[in-house]
């Protein structure tokens, strides 16, 4: 009687990797985390499940539609949709135990009910840094978090990326000046500028705010040139205090990026960047891969004036940047970057016993592990050809074949599976 097997599969919108891909994924994450750690950030973790009223207190629009919410007994619960809102709750809850300004990094999975499409995930890793302070936070921190992302991308040798930087106060000031009331709809439309044909965008904008106001906004958004040229042109408009504040802030961010050694080729000012989440108030940024812009942003974030206002009376302004690590990995697979990724395997060893040599293999293993190498013994009975194929398929660089001759002469024979070279050393020199 045949058994009815269930076909092994996962839901759409979730990523699983094979072991060698997972090692590359983990190596990328580790390198980025080391950048954040050495720059004075501290690690935290928060629960994947939060109380729904805590998590959704400041969400709305598209954000709330994507949240996985459910009930367990009498409790209304939700899966975190990013790491920033739980971070705000965390800071408010532990406010008397933290030192401010508080700089944190966090790697964790988040969940969004995204419409199923290629490269969009419902479960994905985010890797965040945030700085939060009491009462006020210098705009210099906005540039600092961008500089950390820049360092991280250089560390993993990511080519041709560009930060797109804007400030929400610029458009907010213009909206005040033009007395635009349907700001939310207008902001949402501008956020889709690069995803629509120009004539379609213009027609939709005119429908929302009229031709005269639409022309004025387009005039501002069409300003181009170097960062310095764009800032000078923006300063030429005498609009209002909110607008001027936004222009001055973006000018300061650019100045600080220069001081923090972020090269001018790494960023552009792009006034069409809005960011969809509702809590951003000042500087905002997204990151595109040049030549592969169709994949969307791989890293984004911005300034929030008081994200924790619903949890505490203390004003807690902050700024953060988030790398969508799962999405980034997908894009890097698509463009062939993962195939050429330099995962250092020079300290990978596998020991292949021939005959009754396990005692000697164990001594070799202990020495390798003590030296910090990654090593294991092939315990199962198989031909040498099969053992070598196993090592090759796992991309283990160094193979140590241990036979009676090696035991007798107290030597170790190491074969480099990449170059094919063999070397013999005394076990005491291993």
Instruction: Calculate the alpha carbon distances from 219 to 20, 174, 213, 237, 267 in Å.
Output: 50, 11, 10, 11, 22
Task: Count helices and strands (H / E) in the chain.
Answer: 15, 16
> What's 74-122 look like in SS3?
CEEEEECCCCHHHHHHHHHHCCCCCCCCEEEEEEEEEECCCCCCCCCCC
Sign for the CA dihedral angle at 401, 406, 412, 418 comes to: negative
| Residues 100, 316: Cα–Cα separation, whole Å | 10
> Which strands form 75-79's sheet, in the order they lie side by side?
49-51, 75-79, 69-72
Q: What is the chain's alpha carbon radius of gyration, rounded to the nearest angstrom?
A: 27
6 contacts: CB under 8 Å, gap ≥ 6 = none
83 is in an annotated binding site: yes
Beta bridge partners of 49: 79
233 is in an annotated binding site: no
| Residues 283, 246: Cα–Cα separation, whole Å | 8
| Residues 38, 42: Cα–Cα separation, whole Å | 10
205 is in an annotated binding site: no
303 is in an annotated binding site: no
130 is in an annotated binding site: yes
> Parallel, antiparallel, or unpaired for β 422-426 and 398-402?
unpaired
Cα of 24 vs its chain's centroid, Å: 15
| Residues 220, 192: Cα–Cα separation, whole Å | 16
126 is in an annotated binding site: yes
200 contacts: CB under 8 Å, gap ≥ 6 = none
Which residues line the annotated binding site for L-histidine? 82-84, 112, 126, 130, 275, 279-280
| Residues that constitute the known binding site | 82-84, 112, 126, 130, 275, 279-280
């Amino acid at each position: 009687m045949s058994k009815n097997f269930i076909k092994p599969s996962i839901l759409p919108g979730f990523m699983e990797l094979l072991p060698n891909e997972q090692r590359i994924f983990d190596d990328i994450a580790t390198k980025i985390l080391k950048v954040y750690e050495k720059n004075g950030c501290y690690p935290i973790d928060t629960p994947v499940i939060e109380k729904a009223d805590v998590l959704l207190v400041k969400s709305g629009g598209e954000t709330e539609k994507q949240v996985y919410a459910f009930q367990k007994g009498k409790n209304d619960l939700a899966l975190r949709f990013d790491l920033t809102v739980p971070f705000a709750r965390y800071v408010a809850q532990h406010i008397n135990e933290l030192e401010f300004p508080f700089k944190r990094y966090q790697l964790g999975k988040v969940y969004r009910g995204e419409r199923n499409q290629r490269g969009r995930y419902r479960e994905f890793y985010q890797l965040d840094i945030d700085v939060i302070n009491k009462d006020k936070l210098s705009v210099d921190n906005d540039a600092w978090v961008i500089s950390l992302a820049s360092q991280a991308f250089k560390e993993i040798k990511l080519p041709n990326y560009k930060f797109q930087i804007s400030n929400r106060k610029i458009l907010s000031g213009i909206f005040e000046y033009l007395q635009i009331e349907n700001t939310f709809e207008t902001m949402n439309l501008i956020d889709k500028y690069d995803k629509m044909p120009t004539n379609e965008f213009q027609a939709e904008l005119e429908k929302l705010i009229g031709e005269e106001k639409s022309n004025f906004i387009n005039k501002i958004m069409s300003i181009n040139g170097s960062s310095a040229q764009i800032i000078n042109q923006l300063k030429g408009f005498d609009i209002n205090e909110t607008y001027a504040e936004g222009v001055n802030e973006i000018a300061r961010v650019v100045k600080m990026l220069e001081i923090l050694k972020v090269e001018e080729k790494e960023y552009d000012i792009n006034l069409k960047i809005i960011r969809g989440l509702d809590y951003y108030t000042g500087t905002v940024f997204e990151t595109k891969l040049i030549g592969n812009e169709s994949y969307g942003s791989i890293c984004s974030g911005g300034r929030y004036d008081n994200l924790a206002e619903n949890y505490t009376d203390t004003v807690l302004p902050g700024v953060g940047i988030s790398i969508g690590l799962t999405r980034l990995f997908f894009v890097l697979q698509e463009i062939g970057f993962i195939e050429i990724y330099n995962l250092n395997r020079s300290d990978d060893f596998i020991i292949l016993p021939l005959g009754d040599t396990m005692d000697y293999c164990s001594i070799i293993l202990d020495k390798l592990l003590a030296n910090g190498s990654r090593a294991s013994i092939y315990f199962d009975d198989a031909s040498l050809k099969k053992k070598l194929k196993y090592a090759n398929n796992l991309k283990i660089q160094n193979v140590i074949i241990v036979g009676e001759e090696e035991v007798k002469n107290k030597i170790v024979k190491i074969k480099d599976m990449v170059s094919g070279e063999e070397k013999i050393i005394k076990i005491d020199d291993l």
